[in-house]
Copies of this chain bind each other. A is one copy, B any other.
Amino acid sequence: MQIFDSFNPPARLLMGPGPSNAAPSVLSALANPLLGHLDPAFIQMMEEIKSMLRSVFQTKNQMTFPVSGTGSAGMEFCFVNLIEPGDEVIVCINGVFGMRMADLAERCGANVIKVEAPWGEIIRPEQVKEAVTGRSPKLVALVHAETSTGALTPVESISEIAHGAGALMLLDTVTSLGGCKVDIDGWNIDAVYSGTQKCLSCPPGLAPVSLSPRALETAQNRKTRVQSWYLDVNMLSGYWGSERVYHHTAPISMNYALHEALRLILEEGLETRWERHQQTHLRLVEGLKTLGLGIASQQGHQLWQLNAVTVPEGTDEAGVRKRLLEEYQIEVGAGLGPMKGKIWRVGLMGESSQAKYVDHFLEAMTAILKGS
C-alpha cells in the first residue's frame, strides 16, 4: 500500500482543444466550503445558474441546467431522452464529434442516416435537404463547432430544413458556446449541449444543456422509458425544477465554479467576448503566416477558438508539441483520425484567448521551428 505526496500540478498555458485555463476567481470558487444539495442557499444559487445559462445560450427554455457530467454526458442526455428504438435520426458528420453522435444514436436504437462532409469542411444545407427528402426523421443532429477540425457550420438553414421535415433540431455547442455567436431561440434549436471547459473557461465536469418545450414534451410522452436513470430528464426536472425532489447529489463545488464562470461571461458581455475571440484568432493567423503556417479548415468557416494549424512537411509534429509543453509550459492538441500528424490544434478559448498568450505561443513556435 503506497501513500503518495500531495499533488502540485505545474502551471500550464492551456492552448489545446480544452480544458482552457480558468480565471483565478473561478478556481477559488471551487475551494468554497461545501453545502448540502438541498440547502436553501445552494438552491438559490442553482436558480442563478439557470438564469445565467439561459442568457449565455440566448434562450427562454425553462429546462436549461448543467448535467452532472462532462460534455459527452450532455450529448448522451439529449439523445437518450429524445430517441426511442426505431426512430429515424439524421446525424451530420464532419469530424470526431459527429461520429460520436452517430455511435450514441445507434446505442439508443435509432435508425441513423449519416450526412457526411470531408473533415475540415462544413455540412452544407443541401446535403441535409437531400437526406430529409422522402423521410420522416425525428431528429437532425449537428455539431456547430467541430473541435477535431476547426470548422464552424452555419446552423440556421439546416435548422429550417429540419423543422420543415417535422424533425427536432439538436446542436452540439461544446466548443462554440461563449466563444462565438450561439443563439438557441433565434436559430430554433430544440436540444443543445455544451461543456464547461472550453470557452466558458470553467474546469471540466458539467455539461450545460437546454431543451425547448417541444423537446421536453417529446421526452415526457415517450412510449418507452429513458434507457439512462442518471440522465432521465423526467426525474432531473424534479430536482432542477420547482419541486426539488432528490435525484442524485449535485456536484456542489463544480456548480460554484460554473456560477462564477457564467458571471464573468455576462460581465464581459457576450458580443465583446465573441469579438475578443475573433481578434486573438486573427492575431494568430497573421503570426502564423510569418512562420509559413496556415489553417487547414475550410476558408470562411474557420473557428476562432480552435485553430487547425498545418504541420509543415517533414516536421516532427509530436516533437514540437512535446517541446512546447516541456520548455514553454504550453499545451496544444494533436490532430485526430485522418488529421493525425497533419495539424496542431491550437485553442484560444475563454481565459486562454488573449493577445499576450498568442504572442507567447508564436515566439515559442518561432524558436522551435526556426531555431532547431
Contact = CB atoms under 8 A, between A and B. Distances in A.
Interface of A: 1-12, 14, 16, 18-19, 21-22, 25, 27-37, 39-42, 45, 48, 51-52, 55, 68-73, 75-76, 100, 103-104, 106-108, 195, 197, 203-205, 225-230, 246-254, 256-257, 259-260, 263, 266-267, 325, 331, 336
A131 B254 CA distance: 42
A257 B259 CA distance: 19
Contacts of A28: 31
B266 A204 contact: no
A25 B8 CA distance: 12
B252 A76 contact: no
Residue of A48, A75, A203 most packed against chain B (CB within 10 A): A203
Contacts of A18: 249
A33 B7 contact: no
Contact of A260 (B6, B34, B259): B6
A5 B12 CA distance: 29
Given A7-B29, A197-B249, 20 more contacts: A2-B51, A3-B263, A7-B48, A16-B36, A27-B33, A27-B34, A30-B30, A37-B204, A68-B70, A68-B205, A72-B247, A75-B230, A76-B228, A104-B229, A107-B228, A197-B252, A203-B254, A205-B252, A251-B254, A253-B257
21 contacts: A1-B266, A2-B52, A3-B266, A4-B263, A5-B263, A6-B259, A7-B29, A7-B45, A14-B34, A19-B34, A27-B31, A28-B31, A40-B325, A70-B249, A70-B250, A71-B248, A100-B229, A107-B225, A107-B226, A107-B228, A205-B251
A37 B22 CA distance: 14
A320 B41 CA distance: 18
A207 B253 CA distance: 15
A97 to B, nearest CB: 11
Contacts of A336: 246
A121 to B, nearest CB: 22
A251 B204 contact: yes
A40 B321 CA distance: 12
Nearest to A104: B229
Contacts of A10: 35, 41
A253 B72 contact: no
B256 A70 contact: no
B76 A229 contact: yes
A334 to B, nearest CB: 9
A204 B206 CA distance: 12
A36 B7 contact: no
A194 to B, nearest CB: 12
Give 7 closest A-B pairs by Cβ, nearest first.
A205-B251, A30-B30, A31-B31, A72-B248, A203-B253, A204-B249, A104-B229
A336 B106 CA distance: 37
Given A6-B260, A9-B33, A35-B9, A252 B69 contact: no
Nearest to A260: B6
Contacts of A8: 32
A52 B203 contact: no
A259 B9 CA distance: 12
